[in-house]
């Protein structure tokens, strides 16, 4: 069943904030097998000019799943079958590195839904800012909904 194109342009502001902790960064770095000390050692991070440990460049993917449950992906009206979904593209534009102590909020929006052969592509943008309004990063993601394009 094709995705509901009415979702293009819809914006979702997550009500909750996300507090980045040293332990969350450590856990993510461990999961990707990366022992770079900037992620776990405060002194090493400071030696690089950061006020606290920083997160790996793809860490903010955690937020997209943290807030997915309040976003378009799980809205039954969109008609997305998650088992048919694979990740098509992803881009991170960092305004500054994420670091321990950041309290973040996200606004996500559906940028586009289009056919690509038998599949459909849904592109979302997630803007990540601190609760003080400092821009941290913009994430662009494209999901592939396999085989759901209208015949």
Q: Which residues bind other proteins (CB under 8 A)?
A: 27-28, 30-34, 36, 38-39, 48-50, 54, 56-58, 61-62, 65-66, 68, 82-94, 96-97, 140, 146
Of 138, 12, 151, the C-alpha closest to 73 is 12
CA distance linking residue 125 with residue 111, whole number of Å: 7
H or E segment to which residue 9 belongs: none
Looking at the Cβ atoms of 22 and 94, the one nearer to other proteins is: 94
Looking at the Cβ atoms of 93 and 103, the one nearer to other proteins is: 93
Q: How far is the CB of 3 from other proteins (least distance, A)?
A: 17
Q: How far is the CB of 53 from other proteins (least distance, A)?
A: 10
Q: DSSP H helical segments within the chain, as ranges?
A: 22-31, 42-47, 61-66
Looking at the Cβ atoms of 6 and 91, the one nearer to other proteins is: 91
Strand partners, 39: none
The end-to-end CA distance of the chain, in Å, is 9
Q: How far is the CB of 23 from other proteins (least distance, A)?
A: 11
């Amino acid at each position: 069943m094709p995705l509901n194109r009415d979702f293009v342009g819809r914006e979702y502001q997550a009500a909750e904030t996300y507090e980045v902790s040293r332990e969350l960064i450590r856990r993510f770095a461990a999961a990707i097998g990366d022992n770079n000390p900037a992620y776990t050692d405060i002194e090493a991070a400071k030696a690089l000019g950061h006020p606290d440990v920083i997160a790996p460049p793809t860490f903010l993917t955690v937020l997209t799943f943290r807030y997915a449950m309040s976003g378009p992906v799980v809205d039954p009206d969109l008609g997305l079958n998650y088992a048919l979904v694979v990740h098509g593209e992803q881009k991170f534009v960092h305004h500054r590195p994420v670091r321990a102590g950041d309290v973040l909020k996200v606004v996500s929006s559906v940028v586009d839904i289009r056919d690509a052969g038998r599949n459909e592509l849904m592109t979302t943008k997630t803007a990540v800012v601190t609760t003080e309004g400092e821009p941290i990063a913009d994430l662009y993601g494209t999901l592939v909904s396999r085989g759901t394009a209208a015949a």
